[in-house]
Amino acid sequence: MNKPITDDYSISLQQIELLAPRISKGIQVVLVISGEITVETNSRYYPLKENDLLVINRNQFFQVKGSEQNSVLMLNISDVYMDKAYSSYRTSLFECYSREIDMGRELMVGKLRKLLVELMLTYYRRDESYQIEIQAFISELLLILIRRFKQKGSLHEKIDTKDERLTQIIAYMEKNYDQLITLEEIAHNFYLSSGYLSRYFKKKIGTGFNRYLMNIRLEHSLKDLLYTSNSISQIAMKNGFPNTKSFATLFKEIYEETPKNYREKHQVERMDSVKHYDLEDASEIINSPSILERLGAILAKSNDTYNNTETKSEELMLDLSHVTTSQIHRPKHNLMIGQLRELLKESVRSQILMVAKDIRLENIGVRNLIKGSTLIPPVETDEIIATTSPYYNADFALNFLKKNNLSLFVRVNYKEISADEESYFTELHKFMSHCINVYGKAYLETWHFMFYESYPTAVSGNNLERVYMKLYQALKVYAPHISVGSYFPFAFKRGKTSAQHEWLITDDVPIDFFGYEANQNEVINFEELGDDRFSLAEGYIKEKTDKLLTYLLHHKKERPLHLISWNTLSGNTRHTNGTFFRGALVLKNAFEVADKIESIGFWINTEQHEKGRKERNIPIEGLELFHYFNGKRPAYFAMQFLERLEGEIVVSGADYIMTKNDRGYQLLLMNSNIINPYYSIEDTFLKKLNKDIHVIITNMEQGEYQIRKHVFDKNNGALYTKWWELNSAYGMDMEVIDYIIQTSRPSLEIFDETITGEWSFYSYLSINAIHFFDIRKALI
C-alpha cells in the first residue's frame, strides 16, 4: 500500500474487488480509470464505469465492490487538513457524481477529472517539485468542489424552519458536537437568555436542547461502533459525551441494548480485498498503452475555457404555474451606412442582406442625400434627351432597397441646407420629382426625413424652425404621408432641451416623429476611475428614454421616438471598446427600451463610421454591427439572440427572459456588468465578476425535450479574442482573416432531457455573457 506522503492527503491507485464497510475520514474522491466498481453508501448505490467520478463526504458510510479487473484512483483529503483550510468544512456536503450532474456542470467535472489525472501522474512520477504541484492540484480541486458542488444546509438536515437564527444554532451544534457545548454558552453567543432559548428550541424542534445535542452525538458514535475498532470509551470521548456511562445510558435507551452487545450483533466483518499498487507497479500500469490512451482522452476532453475563479453564485427560481404573459416588443431597425452611394459596393450590400436575414431590417440610414457625392453633377451635352442621368447611382441604390423591402431614413443637417439654401431645395425638388415618377408615391411614403442640429449650436431657434418648416413643406408636396421629423437634443442631467430647440415643444410646429441619442459615455469621466458619476451609466439608456417621454408628455408633444444612435459603456477609444466584452449590455439595453420606441439604430461597420467622421481614432457614438472584412461585432450576435425570442414572455427579470411558444420554451440568461472599461485590461478583476447561476424551473409541461444551448461570451463569438490569438508582427492575409471571421461565433451544445416536474441546471456566465436556451418539445 502507498503510505501518505503527508497527514493532509493520500493518493493510491488500486484494483478493488471488495472494500469493506467503513466511515470516510475526510473527503474521498474516486475516479475509475478502467473497469467497473459499485460504491454503496448509507443512502444509495453508485455504479461507476470508466471515467466516472464520485465524491464521498466526511463521516459518510461507504463500501466498494469491483469487477475482476479495474484501476481506481482514490484521493483522500484528511479532516485535519480540511479543518485548517476551510472553516465551514464540518457543516459542508459536496454532491458530485459524474453520471448525475445537472446540465451546465460538464466543464467542471471535466476539470476535476483532469486535475485528478495530473495529480496521479505527478505523484507516481515524482519529479523534483512534485509535492508542491500536488498541493496546487488539490487546492484547485477543493475550490471547484466548494464553489460549484457544495450543497446548502448541513449533513443533518432535519429541521424545516425559516428561523435563520435557529438554523445557525443547529449548524453550530452539528459542527461542534464533539466539543463541550452548553445551553448557556450558546444562548450567550446568540444574544439570548438561556431560559428563552430552552423554551423556544423545544417549541420549534419538538425536543429539548440537550437531548437534541445527544442525538447528534449518538448518530456519529453509532457509525464508529460498527465500522471502527475503537473502544467504547474512545468512541464516547471522541463524539463529545462527558463520560462512557452517559453514552451507554442513552444508547441503551434508544437501541434497547448496550453498545457492546449491539456491536457484537451488528458489526460487519472488516476484510478488504484490494490490491494497492506500489510506485513501481503503478508507474508501469500508468505508462501502459491502454491506460495512457484513457488518461490522454481525459486530458484531451478537459476544456480549459472553464476558469475556477471566485464568482457570484445565484439561484434563479422560475415558477410557471401562475404567470401573466406579455408580448415581445420589436421596434424597427435602422442601419446607418453613410451616403447612399455606399450601396454601390457589393460588400455593403451583402452586409445589409445578412442583417436583414439574421436580425430583421426595415430602414437604411443615410446622410448628405442631396449635397453629398451620390448625385452626379450635370454634364453639358448637346443631346436633346440626355443619355446620362445625375440619378444613376441613386437609382441603383434605390432599386436594391425597394427590391428588398427596405426604406430610407434620411438625416438632413441644418448646415447641409444653410450652405446654399436655394440650391439645396432646387435639387431636392428635382430628386423627389424623379423618385415619384420612377418608384411611386407609395414607396416614398415609407421614408423618413429627420432634420438635425446638435444640442450646442449658435443658430437661433427662429432660423432652425424656419428651415425645418421649409423642408417639411417641400417633402409633403410630393408625398403627403412621408414622415418628416426632427432630432430632439435632450440634456439628461438638466432634463430639458436647449433654448435654441424650444421651438420643437412650444410652437405649433408639425412634427411626425422625434429622433434622439443615448450614449452612456457622455455622462462618464473615464480619467477619474473612482468618479462617483460612473454609477450613472447603469440604466442610463432606459432612464434617458423615460425622461424624454415624460418631458414630451408634459409639453403635449407625444410623438413616435427613434433611437438613432446609442451605445453601451465603452470608453473614449477603440482600445477600451475592443477589450471590454459587451454582449449582455447591448441586449439588455435594447430589450429595456423596445416597448418605448419606434425604431433603434445601428452603424453598418467600422469603415463607414470612420469615413463619415473623416478620422480613424474616433469616439464611439454608435453601435456597429460589422468590423472590417465582414467580421461580426458583439451587437450583431446580441441582437440576433433578441430576435430569436418567440412566443410570449412568461417570466422576466433584470437578467433573464423566458418565453413560451408552440415548440416549447426559450430562456435567455445574461450576466450584465457595468464597469469602467479601463479595468478591462485587468483580467483577474474581470473574472471575479463571473456568475454561476443555478436555475430551477417548476411546472413546465412534462415530456421529452431537445435543448439547444448557445453561449455568447468573450471566448465564444467575440471577434477580437481570435484577432489577438492569431495576431502577428508580420501582418495577416485573407486566409487568417477568413478563419477569424468563420470561427468567431457563439457556441452550440445540444442535450436531450426528460422533464418531469422540476428541472434544474447550472449556467456559468463570464462577464457580459449571454446564454440562450432553446427548449424544444420532442414529438414522439
Alpha helices in 404-460 (DSSP H): 414-418, 421-439, 441-444
* Contact status, residue 518 vs residue 541, Cβ threshold 8 Å: yes
* Contact status, residue 594 vs residue 639, Cβ threshold 8 Å: no
Mention every residue, 6+ apart, whose C-beta is less than 8 A from residue 203: none
What torsion do the CA atoms of 671, 676, 679, 684 make, to the nearest 10 degrees?
A: -30
Alpha helices in 508-619 (DSSP H): 540-554, 574-579, 583-593, 606-613
* Contact status, residue 483 vs residue 517, Cβ threshold 8 Å: no
* Contact status, residue 390 vs residue 431, Cβ threshold 8 Å: no
Q: Between β-strands 448-452 and 747-755, what pairing exists: parallel, antiparallel or unpaired?
A: unpaired
* Contact status, residue 45 vs residue 92, Cβ threshold 8 Å: no
Closest CA to 114 of 55, 31, 48, 49: 31
Strand partners, 707: 751, 775
Q: Between β-strands 9-23 and 273-276, what pairing exists: parallel, antiparallel or unpaired?
A: antiparallel
Please tell me if the domain spanning 9-152+278-305 has the same topology as the one spanning 332-644: no
What torsion do the CA atoms of 179, 183, 188, 193 make, to the nearest 10 degrees?
A: 170
63 by DSSP, 3-state: which?
Answer: strand
Run of H or E including 132: helix 130-148
> What phi, psi does 45 have (nearest 5°)?
-105, 145
Phi-psi region of 647 (alpha: psi -120 to 50; beta: other; left: phi over 0): left
C-alpha cell at 716: 465564444
531 by DSSP, 3-state: which?
Answer: coil
| Interatomic CA distance for residues 561 and 550, integer angstroms | 12
Give the pLDDT confidence score for residue 122 in this predicted structure.
Answer: 86
The reply to whether CATH 3.40.1000.10 applies to domain 164-266 is no
CA quadruple 129, 132, 135, 140: dihedral positive or negative?
Answer: negative
Q: What CATH number was assigned to the domain covering residues 316-326+679-777?
A: 2.60.40.1500
> What phi, psi does 754 have (nearest 5°)?
-100, 115
Determine the residue type at 203.
K
* Contact status, residue 95 vs residue 107, Cβ threshold 8 Å: no
| Interatomic CA distance for residues 234 and 218, integer angstroms | 13
Q: pTM for this one?
A: 0.74
Q: What is the DSSP string of 153-199?
A: S-SS-------HHHHHHHHHHHHSTTS---HHHHHHHTT--HHHHHH
C-alpha cell at 418: 444653410
Place of cell 442631396: 370
Give the pLDDT confidence score for residue 136 in this predicted structure.
Answer: 92
* Contact status, residue 33 vs residue 297, Cβ threshold 8 Å: no
Segments making up each domain of the chain, as ranges: 9-152+278-305, 164-266, 316-326+679-777, 332-644
- Rounded to the nearest 5 percent, the helix, strand and coil shares of the chain are 40, 25, 35
Q: What is the DSSP string of 326-352?
A: BPPP--EEEEEEESGGGGGSHHHHHHH
Give the pLDDT confidence score for residue 308 in this predicted structure.
Answer: 57
* Contact status, residue 124 vs residue 73, Cβ threshold 8 Å: no
Fold exhibited by the domain 9-152+278-305: Jelly Rolls (2.60.120)
> What phi, psi does 367 have (nearest 5°)?
-120, 165
| Interatomic CA distance for residues 771 and 106, integer angstroms | 15
| Interatomic CA distance for residues 639 and 599, integer angstroms | 13
* SS3 per residue for 685-696: HHHCCCEEEEEE
Determine the residue type at 592.
E
| Interatomic CA distance for residues 209 and 207, integer angstroms | 7
DSSP 384: S
| Interatomic CA distance for residues 224 and 59, integer angstroms | 9
* SS3 per residue for 710-727: EEEECCEECHHHHHHHCC
| Interatomic CA distance for residues 705 and 554, integer angstroms | 50
Q: At what angle do helices 346-358 and 634-644 cross, to 10 degrees?
A: 30
| Interatomic CA distance for residues 717 and 741, integer angstroms | 9
Phi-psi region of 495 (alpha: psi -120 to 50; beta: other; left: phi over 0): left
Q: What is the mean pLDDT of each run of 10 residues along the chain (780 residues)?
A: 65 86 87 89 80 90 84 91 88 86 84 90 83 92 90 50 75 83 87 84 81 83 79 89 88 83 70 66 67 72 57 85 92 95 93 95 95 77 60 95 97 95 95 96 97 92 96 96 96 91 90 92 60 65 95 95 86 48 91 96 77 49 80 92 96 95 96 68 61 91 93 88 78 83 90 86 91 91
Give the pLDDT confidence score for residue 619 in this predicted structure.
Answer: 46
Q: At what angle do helices 461-478 and 421-439 cross, to 10 degrees?
A: 20
Give the pLDDT confidence score for residue 370 in this predicted structure.
Answer: 93
Give the pLDDT confidence score for residue 426 in this predicted structure.
Answer: 95
C-alpha cell at 428: 431636392
* Contact status, residue 376 vs residue 388, Cβ threshold 8 Å: yes
C-alpha cell at 558: 407625444
Give the pLDDT confidence score for residue 411 in this predicted structure.
Answer: 97
CA distance from start to end of the chain? 53
* Contact status, residue 391 vs residue 347, Cβ threshold 8 Å: no
Q: Between β-strands 656-661 and 273-276, what pairing exists: parallel, antiparallel or unpaired?
A: unpaired
What CATH class is the domain 332-644? alpha beta
| Interatomic CA distance for residues 598 and 604, integer angstroms | 19
Give the pLDDT confidence score for residue 533 in this predicted structure.
Answer: 53
Closest CA to 773 of 634, 646, 613, 610: 646
| Interatomic CA distance for residues 624 and 567, integer angstroms | 9
* Contact status, residue 224 vs residue 238, Cβ threshold 8 Å: yes
In total, the chain counts a number of residues equal to 780
